[in-house]
């Protein structure tokens, strides 16, 4: 017997809930009975259920893959298969142009290509966007062709970036504006030089500097977002200067003949606009980010390579082993990194710390391709022989120009070497390839007249020298470490 009021309330609630459940079951029974007397409704339900079940089990959506850790978008350069073609594991479905190279998209499962959703137009797609549909077999493909296209259409979002709208103004911090906006001298000069009104611009620009000061970067951001576009068109024209008035008075009524010759046609007709490849776009973006965010440290040294050239000749004469100067440069850099492991490190941007190379010396070699620059990796270069390095570089460079490198063959690396000596470049400054901390720029070998090894002893001598410049990330490699690397580098040769 329930004695407490809380117990009686709980019992009453359970009884009501049980009564409601019985009513719901009875109601569903009446609905099922009414539907059973309508054969056309039952047929529609069975057809829709079978069609949905068949589609969900046979059609698979293929999306744009992420073929590298830094890849956020890619473009399809060509399709290797057509709708209706059978697919097997290892077959190349299409060629995808990534931020590093053109890579074939290999299939992992069997199936039949049912539909291509994105043509090979070169337009960029974000990773994860659908590009194709596949089915299990030929029978499923025949069924797929009879299905309603609206039931499986998964068109990807357009890859074209929409023009900036009012939403783009949200990139400007929406803090409160002061009644009397203050401008830096550079910002005021930029506004006045563009023919804009300072008072009108003060209501459209939000200052992000200290105490709400409007800086030059605020003006640039506001103009790029379009918030000052209306002010530029509606601003009153500046008053004519004295020089302009005198020039107008002294100018005769008839127009003066133009001193510059008139071109035969529009200037643009003399040039052809070539659309930039996705790889070159990414290269430009990465290099700009590197120069803007990585504190570059440059050190230059001149190395005598006569003994290196003699060693190369001896390998060819005695062992019939042909190696290039670039192979010896890579080997020397690898040995120097082995002796100075502090230079064999990288910057971990996520953790804000230095990440050591853990004893692995993998050299990235810059190779020029028709689509842009790529850096295939010679792994374990410190433990390889010079001949092995030469064979690896020849194989990697050849496949890089053909766009057949695998992602693991150009991702990573602990140090980069860029050699322009074969083009006759005496010296140059290379841009660091993040997250790597160093890149060595190697120039051409030049014959120079040098003083004797010991001052005052013997005549001047003639030697072949190469100028090398090390670009280092100052957050990882300081001046002393960079100098130590360059001191060890010629000795390694």
The predicted-structure confidence for 143-175, as pLDDT tens digits, reads as follows 888 876 665 544 333 333 333 333 333 333 444
Q: Tell me, what's the pLDDT at 45? A: 46
The three-state secondary structure class of 296 is: strand
Q: Give the model's confidence band at 377: pLDDT under 50 very low, under 70 low, under 90 confident, else very high.
A: very high
For residue 400, name the pLDDT band (cuts at 50, 70, 90): confident
In the predicted model, what is the mean pLDDT of residues 318-327? 90
Mean pLDDT of 183-194: 76
What average pLDDT does the structure give for the chain?
A: 76
| Distances in whole angstroms, Cα of residue 137 to Cα of each of 58, 149, 426, 447 | 9, 19, 61, 68
Q: What is the pLDDT of residue 296?
A: 95
pLDDT per position as a tens digit, 201-217: 777 787 776 667 787 77
Cα 84 to its chain centre, rounded Å, is 34
Residue 109 confidence class, pLDDT cut points 50, 70, 90: confident
Q: Which residue has the tokens 């850790």?
A: 69
pTM above 0.75? no
**Sorting pLDDT into bands at 50, 70 and 90, what band is 58?**
low
Do the beta carbons of residue 278 and residue 75 sit within 8 Å?
yes
**Whether the predicted pLDDT of 219 surpasses 50:** yes
* CA Rg value for the chain: 35
The CA distance from 62 to 113, in Å, is: 10
Q: Which of 1-10, 99-108, 305-314, 329-338 bottoms out in mean pLDDT, i.e. has the lowest?
A: 1-10
Confidence band, pLDDT 50/70/90 cuts, at residue 19: low
The whole-number average pLDDT for the span 14-41 is: 56
Return the minimum-mean-pLDDT range out of 81-85, 112-116, 176-180, 203-207.
176-180
| Integer Cα distance of 429 and 437 in angstroms | 14
Pairing type for strands 461-473 and 296-304 reads antiparallel
The mean per-residue pLDDT over the stretch 281-285 comes to 83
Answer whether residue 384 shows pLDDT above 60. Answer: yes
Exposure string over 215-245, b if 16+ CB within 10 A, otherwise e: bbebbebbbebebbeebeeebeeeeeeeeee
């Amino acid at each position: 017997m329930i004695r407490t009021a809380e117990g009686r309330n709980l019992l009453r609630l359970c009884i009501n809930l049980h009564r409601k459940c019985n009513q719901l079951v009875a109601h569903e029974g009446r609905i099922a009975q009414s539907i059973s007397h309508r054969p056309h409704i039952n047929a529609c339900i069975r057809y829709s259920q079978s069609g949905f079940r068949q589609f969900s089990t046979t059609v698979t959506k293929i999306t744009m893959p992420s073929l590298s850790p830094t890849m956020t978008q890619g473009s399809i350069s060509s399709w290797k298969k057509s709708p209706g073609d059978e697919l097997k594991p290892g077959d190349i479905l299409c060629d995808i142009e990534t931020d590093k190279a053109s890579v074939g998209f290999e299939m992992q499962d069997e199936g039949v290509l049912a539909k291509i959703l994105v043509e090979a137009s070169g337009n960029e797609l974000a990773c994860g966007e659908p590009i194709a549909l596949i089915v299990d077999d030929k029978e499923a493909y025949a069924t797929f062709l009879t299905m309603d296209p609206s039931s499986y259409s998964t068109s990807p979002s357009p890859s074209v970036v929409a023009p900036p709208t009012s939403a783009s103004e949200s990139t400007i911090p929406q803090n409160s504006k002061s009644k009397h906006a203050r401008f830096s001298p550079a910002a005021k000069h930029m506004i006045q030089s563009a023919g804009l009104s300072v008072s009108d611009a003060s209501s459209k620009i939000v200052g992000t500097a200290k105490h709400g000061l409007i800086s030059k970067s605020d003006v640039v951001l506001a103009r790029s977002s379009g918030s000052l576009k209306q002010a530029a068109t509606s601003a009153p024209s500046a008053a004519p200067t004295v020089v302009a008035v005198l020039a107008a008075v002294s100018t005769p009524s008839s127009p003066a003949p133009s001193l510059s010759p008139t071109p035969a046609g529009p200037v643009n007709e003399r040039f052809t606009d070539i659309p930039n490849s996705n790889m070159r776009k990414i290269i430009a973006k990465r290099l700009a980010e590197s120069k803007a965010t990585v504190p570059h440290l440059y050190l230059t040294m001149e190395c005598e390579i006569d003994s290196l050239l003699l060693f190369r000749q001896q390998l060819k004469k005695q062992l019939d082993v042909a190696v290039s100067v670039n192979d010896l440069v890579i080997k020397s850099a690898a040995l120097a990194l082995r002796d100075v492991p502090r230079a064999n490190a990288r910057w971990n941007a996520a953790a804000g710390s230095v990440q050591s190379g853990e004893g692995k010396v993998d050299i990235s070699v810059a190779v020029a391709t028709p689509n842009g620059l790529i850096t295939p990796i010679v792994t374990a270069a410190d433990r390889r022989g010079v001949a092995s390095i030469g064979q690896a570089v020849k194989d990697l460079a050849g496949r890089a120009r053909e766009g057949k490198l695998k992602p693991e063959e150009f991702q990573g690396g602990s140090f980069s070497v860029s050699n322009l000596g074969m083009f006759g470049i005496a010296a140059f400054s290379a841009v660091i390839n993040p997250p790597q901390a160093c890149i060595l720029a190697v120039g051409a070998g030049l014959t120079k007249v040098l003083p004797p090894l010991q001052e005052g002893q013997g005549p001047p001598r003639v030697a072949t020298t190469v100028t090398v410049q090390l670009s280092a990330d100052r957050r990882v490699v300081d001046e002393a470490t960079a100098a130590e690397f360059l001191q060890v580098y010629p000795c390694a040769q």
